[in-house]
Amino acid sequence: MNYCSHCGQPVSFAIPDGDDRPRYLCRSCGTIHYQNPRIVAGTLPVSGSRVLLCRRAIEPRLGYWTLPAGFMENAESTPEAATRETREEACAEVELQGLYTLINLPHINQVFMIFRGELKGDFAAGVESLEVALFEERDIPWQELAFPTVERTLRHYFADRQQQHYPLHISDITMDDRRLFFDLD
């Protein structure tokens, strides 16, 4: 952020009076520009013993497999965002069965929320997907998953499925988790 989106003058980065952390602030019109984490909402679509994954047609992680998910938009609810993303990326309808993973990603200012869902009817690749397919547990492309959030959600699911009990899992992706997943030094 270089300029004030309200008045167009250059912004400073400093701690406002009465605050405890630096913000972008405009000394011309007085606006404080708060920046907050974004929600990524999506689903884990299940059809019998198989789960649906999408192969990404866009960067980042083009060509890798992911769950249908994306940034929640203004004026919608979290379940609406999750079902919309599933429709957009997998041309699929799901009957939601509850929030399943909530994963904090403080290093990139995101909160990832996946709802379990029962796949209803057909599916196809949306414009952001190269292909969409159903996988048995043994066929999951573990080495070709797009993000650590996707791997973690799938690991929880296959473990929980043995007990047929799907509690909400809340966790964080740490810098170490990220390094391990992306095989960074």
Peptide bond into 60 cis (omega under 30): yes
CA 43 vs CA 70, 94, 172, 184: distances in Å: 10, 8, 18, 28
Query: Of 93 and 128, which CB lies nearer to a copy of itself in the complex structure?
Result: 128
To the nearest whole angstrom, how small is the minimum distance from the Cβ of residue 122 to a copy of itself?
21
To the nearest whole angstrom, how small is the minimum distance from the Cβ of residue 28 to a copy of itself?
11
Residues 6 or more apart in contact with residue 183 via CB below 8 angstroms: none
What percent of the residues of the chain are helix, what percent strand, and what percent coil, each to the nearest 5?
25, 35, 40
7 binds a copy of itself (CB under 8 A): yes
Query: Of 23 and 50, which CB lies nearer to a copy of itself in the complex structure?
Result: 23
33 binds a copy of itself (CB under 8 A): yes
Which residues bind to a copy of itself, rule: CB under 8 A? 1-8, 10-11, 18, 21, 24, 33-39, 71-80, 98-99, 102, 104, 106-107, 109, 111, 127, 168, 170, 172
